[in-house]
Chain A
Amino acid sequence: MNRLILPFVRIFRFYYDGFSSMSWWGKRVWIIIIIKLFLIFIVLKIFFFPDFLHRKYKTDKQKSEYVLEQLTKSK
């Protein structure tokens, strides 16, 4: 059992030590990364960037019919 867990413990310690002894710039960029990922994946994706076709249509058939309609609309 220990043999199975040991590599994971070592990996955890590797990251734990790395993060805990991080330099000034490292801490700053991690704060920026977390804020940025929150803004991109939570705020922008959910509130400002819904998938247009996915929001309008449930099935792939409906989506393809819509796009076909768009592509064959009169000039």
Chain B
Amino acid sequence: MFENADLSLVDWSRAQFALTAIYHWLFVPLTLGLSFIVAIMESIYVKTGNEEWKRITRFWMTLFGINFAIGVATGIILEFEFGTNWSNYSWFVGDIFGAPLAIEGILAFFLESTFVAVMFFGWNKVSKKFHLLSSWLVAIGANLSALWILVANAWMQNPVGMVFNPDTARNEMISFWDVLFNEVAISKFLHTISSGFLLASMFVLGISAYYLLKKREILLARRSILISGVFGLLSSLLVIYTGDSSAKALAKAQPVKFAAFEALYEGKENAGLVAAGILKESDSKIGNTAVNDFAFRIEIPGFLSIMTSGKRDAFVPGIYDLVNGNQSRGIMPVSEKIDRGTKVRNMLEEYKTARKNNDNDKAGMLAATFRDKKFNEENFRYFGYSFFKSPDEAIPNVKVAFYTFHLMVMLGFLFILEFFLAIYFLFRGTLEKQKWFLWVALFSILLPYVAGELGWVLAEMGRQPWIIQDLMPVSAAVSQISSGSVITTFVLFAVLFTLLLVAEVSIMIRQIKTGPKH
């Protein structure tokens, strides 16, 4: 694809980024969700004046504090990696990535840091109402921080609101609102935070189940299960709804990813959604890429067409259509995109030469072309394809996309069932007798973490080979550094993050075993 790129360097740089992001995401979702659960519990305390609710709030606030503190600044390493390992990318994206991250930094620092102190140090020092306000502001601040990170990520999935400046070799933001209200950003933000709410609800449900199994802290456990059950059930439904919106946005912005996670090769009308299936490699190939077939599948007829556009007879393009093109459906083949991208690349080369030769007239004319809206829509948007040697390079790993998507969805439906059962048994008054359910709830604490990580693997591996959809493949984004230094820092991170995780889990387990203060 990019002859000069060392593939092992690209692979190690990707592995390092994946490792950091996966560990970072072990801390973030609990903060997003538990902050709201704590704020809800404290609201009940302030409303009722019942001291038991204060005790419950303070207990969950302690676990929130441990997770928040251990997770602080783990995301900053991702920004270090941009500058060191992904310098071409960092320069190319210009201020588009910088602006949301700067807003996130300022917001996180001022809103979260200030009010987190009031949350933990302010009991009996500030009024009940001000303390409650602080708790809500921490929850809102944490989730707004996530918004800006996800806006930046969504731009990579669906680059909008910018124009490329050949003089600086950077993209410049021309519409902040287009970047902020990018269709992918909105659905991604809602889907991500609701998955955090779900994870935190399962965390509260699981630990409360542990207390019921141990026959201690019964009132705390029952009340916590009530809150987490209702919040978790609503969050699970929101996750499904926003997942559906995300899929619709993906079908437009990243149709190859969409086709890959359903392993749909032949586009069709009335396309069925595969509820479960097992893939096997077939004998056919697209270029050098093997085609997968189903060894077994359960399909819901017409549902994929409905998911993409609300109509059963809607055509859903498959991987063959998207790679080879489908003239009758107006789908451009990748070979044509390669030609258009190469044209842009040649113009960039011409611009470079003109500037070197002080040919200001030609350089000015070419720079004006890069600002032209029509040129951007018809040509520049395919710039990244110029790095391809063959059209099949546009196909992500179909097996990874398919299995991550389906496992994530299956877990999503399992969570709905668990929250529903928790509420049902609680209202029937039989929860303590359902030992099997309490054990399931306890071990289910880990499952939303698995589902969340699967979601990120799907989002990021499903869009390969792109770091910025259609504009820049990962191989063109990487810095020309030695892969040895990337391997060294990979190992360092693995050790550092594992130690942090062990520290968090051990402090958390000790606090859970100790229980709330009496």
Partner-B contacts on A (CB < 8 A) = 14-15, 17-19, 23, 25-26, 28-30, 32-33, 36-37, 39-40, 44-45, 48-54, 60, 63-65, 67-75
For residue B413, CB closer than 8 A to chain A, the reply is no
Can you pick out 28 interface pairs between chain A and chain B where the beta carbons lie within 8 Å of each other? A15-B117, A17-B125, A18-B117, A26-B120, A29-B70, A30-B69, A32-B70, A33-B70, A33-B72, A44-B77, A45-B80, A48-B485, A48-B489, A49-B84, A50-B83, A50-B84, A51-B83, A52-B84, A53-B87, A64-B167, A64-B169, A69-B352, A71-B348, A72-B345, A72-B349, A72-B352, A73-B4, A75-B389
Cβ contact within 8 Å between B76 and A15: no
Within 8 A of A (CB), among B16-69: 62, 65-66, 69
0 or 1 for each of B477-495: is its CB under 8 Å from A? (1 = yes):
0011100010011001000
Within 8 A of A (CB), among B262-319: none
Interchain CA distance A49-B479 in the complex, whole Å: 12
Cβ contact within 8 Å between A72 and B348: yes
Q: Choose from A17, A71, A75 the contact partner of B92 (Cβ within 8 Å).
A: A71
Q: Which residue of A lies closest to B485 (CB)?
A: A48
The 8 closest A-B pairs by CB, nearest first: A18-B121, A52-B87, A49-B80, A29-B69, A51-B83, A67-B169, A52-B479, A68-B169
Interchain CA distance A33-B83 in the complex, whole Å: 24
Which A residues lie within 8 Å of B175 (CB)?
none
| Contact-size category for B | 35 or more
Which A residues lie within 8 Å of B117 (CB)?
14-15, 18
Within 8 A of A (CB), among B111-136: 117, 120-122, 125
Which A residues lie within 8 Å of B8 (CB)?
none
Interchain CA distance A73-B488 in the complex, whole Å: 28
Cβ contact within 8 Å between A54 and B77: no
Distance in angstroms from A1 CB to nearest chain B CB is 25
Cβ contact within 8 Å between A70 and B476: yes
For residue B182, CB closer than 8 A to chain A, the reply is no
For residue B166, CB closer than 8 A to chain A, the reply is yes
Q: A33-B69, A72-B345 are in contact. Are A67 and B88 (CB under 8 A)?
A: yes
Cβ contact within 8 Å between B348 and A68: yes
Q: Which residue of B lies closest to A45 (CB)?
A: B80
Cβ contact within 8 Å between B121 and A17: yes
Cβ contact within 8 Å between B121 and A15: yes
Interchain CA distance A48-B81 in the complex, whole Å: 10
Which B residues lie within 8 Å of A32 (CB)?
69-70, 500, 503
Cβ contact within 8 Å between B83 and A74: no
Pick from B121, B479, B488 the residue with the most CB of A within 10 Å.
Answer: B121
Which A residues lie within 8 Å of B65 (CB)?
25-26, 29
Cβ contact within 8 Å between A75 and B83: no
Which B residues lie within 8 Å of A40 (CB)?
73, 76-77
Which B residues lie within 8 Å of A54 (CB)?
83
Which A residues lie within 8 Å of B84 (CB)?
48-52
Cβ contact within 8 Å between A75 and B2: yes
Interchain CA distance A19-B169 in the complex, whole Å: 49
Q: Choose from A25, A44, A73 the contact partner of B507 (Cβ within 8 Å).
A: A25
Interchain CA distance A17-B118 in the complex, whole Å: 12
Cβ contact within 8 Å between B3 and A48: no
Interchain CA distance A72-B481 in the complex, whole Å: 19
Which A residues lie within 8 Å of B496 (CB)?
36, 39
For residue B511, CB closer than 8 A to chain A, the reply is yes
Which A residues lie within 8 Å of B77 (CB)?
40, 44, 49
For residue B327, CB closer than 8 A to chain A, the reply is no
Q: Which residue of B lies closest to A74 (CB)?
A: B3
Within 8 A of A (CB), among B457-507: 476, 479-481, 485, 488-489, 492, 496, 500, 503, 507
Interchain CA distance A49-B73 in the complex, whole Å: 15
Which A residues lie within 8 Å of B352 (CB)?
68-69, 72
Q: Which residue of A lies closest to B68 (CB)?
A: A29
Cβ contact within 8 Å between B81 and A49: yes
Interchain CA distance A60-B117 in the complex, whole Å: 40
Cβ contact within 8 Å between B72 and A71: no
For residue B148, CB closer than 8 A to chain A, the reply is no
Q: Choose from B73, B87, B386 the contact partner of A36 (Cβ within 8 Å).
A: B73
Which B residues lie within 8 Å of A36 (CB)?
70, 72-73, 496, 500
Interchain CA distance A44-B79 in the complex, whole Å: 12
Known: A39-B496, A51-B87. 13 other contacts (CB 8 A): A19-B121, A30-B69, A33-B70, A48-B84, A49-B83, A49-B84, A49-B489, A52-B83, A68-B169, A68-B352, A69-B352, A75-B387, A75-B389
